[in-house]
Amino acid sequence: MMRRSLTIITLTLLCVIALCMSVTGGKVSAQNPASVYNPYPPGILPSDLASELARVQREANGIEAEALKQWKAIPAPVVSGQPPILQNTGIPLVEILGKLMNYDTTISPNENEGCASCHMPYAGFSGPIPTVNLYEIAYPSSTRYRAAKRTAQRYTYSSYFPPLQYDAVQGLFFGGNFWDSRATGYLTRVPDADQAQFPPVDPDEMDNPDTACVAYKLSSAPYAPLFEQIWGAGSLSSITWPANVAQVCALPEGDSTFGTNTQPLDLSPSDRTLATNDYLHWGASLSAFEHSLSISPFTSKFDAFLAGNYKLTADEAAGYALFDGKGNCNSCHLDGKGTTLSSSQTDTSTAVDVTPVFTCFGSANEGLPKNPRVAFYYETSADSFGFTPNPEGYEYTDYGLGSFLDSGFGSAPNPNSSWQQYTASVLGQMQVSTARDVAMTPAKCPTTEAPGPYFQKEFFHNGYIKSLKQLVHFYNTRDVYPYPVTSGNCPAGTVERVTCWPEPEVPVNVDMTTGKLGLTDTEENQIVAFLQTLTDGYTTPYPDANTYTGTCMTGGNASTQGNSTLISFQAIEAAAKQESHSQRNQH
């Protein structure tokens, strides 16, 4: 039954508050309020969504302004050598270019969204809005309020993932970026650089209608001279843009006037080549920033511990032993040591990797339940631009890597046909993210765990898990408390996420190395304590981590965190049918 504590939002109120105003560089742009897309049942969109989106944009704009100053303070390089190298300051220049791109919210059609809109430093470069993490799961696109289907995956240490490849010996895929590994690195050989090229033209994210629109917007950015200093004189400024470029690039991907045309800007072949290269360089620059010490610095308590400069507390040390042992975390989130699964085994290994990334770079289906809070399920009608994000509705199943290998809906074309034969074996698999920075929060909200004060995050690809305690408890008891029900329908006498785990969204290929670990409540908490040692910023301050201007949450406990917002899709569907029936009777 649908929880009565859901925030109720009426369509009328939403259209009043969601004017989608964007203030950038003294210029105001706005999506027409009449075009705001809201196909959602009450309670899916958080009531503070408009104000929170504005907050994040202000924060991103502030970091952008500081980054412009940082760029100006970098000495000019000396072009030297063969091939020519930007000697002395080439690395800081390409990294600051990536930073400027990351926080630039004018890149989107409505000039209201950039990479940072979904990835801010104080959240470990994951979702920056606590109520979106709690209610809506995926973040709104530049065209309000389209939304995608998955959580904003952290991109700390994402640059360490290798190109996607099939290991025939193990029968597993490793590498790539994104939850479904669709950023393969097939062209650049750098998945992280590939990943940066998807959101700008995703209709449910930044939604530019043409990759060349990004080059067009870069050409008028205040840091355009830096781009050309790094990637070549004339790389932006020598492109001849068509007369309607501003009009085309102000429309979102999916606008009905474009049809199936993914290159609506009419460019000459030579200008199209320049714009395509600019887009590749967009990805390369962002990847440089993500690989930099500004994002992936290895500055956690655990790094200090490996260097002999920090002593783990009793709980942290116990959690570390459990991480490598009974908890079986180290089998996927590799920390450079061995794994001991039984009490009869003794770990005699030492850390062979002083900068472990805490991932195997692979994928797994952990058996997560379907989350009816994912906004994408309700986007079954066309918006004012004629675009329907999800014609399949709640029937849509997220097969992750399996969808990608099959070039399926909601993923991307598979560039290697030889991989398709393995589709059935990977259905439901999602990328094993790094465990680093999983616990990162703003300093003013120092934890992910209730009662807090805490910063509400969301975990796994569909945001079903709301705290690290729940995350560890899920791995520990998934197969202890399984029920043949969907979320929001756990039987009386059970507590969802505590003594009831609804059935998996994808019941095949479930990873059986976890699910019944036999951890005590104390041991679960100790693993959480160890995960918190993986947060960067201990040995040196984490850049821009103090930019959060929102509020913290308080109350409750970590085991049932977010349970007041659990909903049943069946209840929503029944309520919608009842409403439709009542309206028909009124007429």
Element spanning 139, H or E: none
Q: Is 155 within the bounds of a domain?
A: yes
Average pLDDT of the segment spanning 159-183? 98
Residue 18 banded pLDDT, cuts 50, 70, 90? very low
- DSSP for residue 324: T
Task: Report the C-alpha gap between 182 and 344 in whole angstroms.
Answer: 41
Sign of the alpha-carbon dihedral angle for 413, 205, 272, 289: negative
Model confidence at 342, in pLDDT bands (50, 70, 90)?
A: low
Cα radius of gyration (the chain):
24
Query: Could you list the residue range(s) of the whole structural domain that residue 90 is in?
Result: 66-291
Number of domains in the chain: 1
DSSP class of 158: G
| Dist CA 271 CA 452 (whole Å) | 54
Is residue 7 within 8 Å of residue 46, measured between CB atoms?
A: yes
Taking residues 41-67, report their average pLDDT. 97
567 within domain boundaries: no
Q: What is the pLDDT of residue 35?
A: 79
Question: Domain holding 85: CATH number?
Answer: 1.10.760.10
Residue 187, domain member (yes or no):
yes
The answer for residues whose C-beta is within 8 angstroms of residue 118's C-beta and 6 or more apart is 126, 127, 128, 139, 152, 199, 205
State yes or no: pLDDT of 10 exceeds 90.
no
pLDDT at 76 over 60: yes
Q: Residue 438 in contact with residue 124, Cβ under 8 Å?
A: yes
Residue 528 lies in a domain: no
pLDDT tens-digit map of 28-41: 345 676 679 999 99
Tell me: the pLDDT tens digits for 413-447?
999 999 999 999 999 999 999 999 999 999 999 99
280 falls within a domain: yes
Q: Decide if pLDDT at 2 tops 50.
A: no
Check whether the bond before 453 is cis (ω within 30° of 0): yes
* Rounded CA separation 473/465 (Å): 10
Residue 196 belongs to some domain of the structure: yes
Report how far residue 479's alpha carbon sits from residue 482's, in angstroms, rounded to the nearest whole number: 5
Q: What is the mean pLDDT of the chain?
A: 92
Share of the chain above pLDDT 70, in %: 90
pLDDT at 340: 67
Domain annotation covers residue 342: no
Tell me if 127 sits within 8 A of 462, measured CB to CB: no
Q: Which residue has the tokens 């116990």?
A: 318
Q: Whole-angstrom Cα distance, residue 36 to residue 112?
A: 14
Looking at residue 25, what is its pLDDT? 35
CA distance 428 to 452: 33
Q: 247: how many CB neighbours lie within 10 A of its CB? A: 9
* pLDDT score of 50 more than 90: yes
Residue 102 within a domain: yes
Q: Which residue has the tokens 């690989």?
A: 291
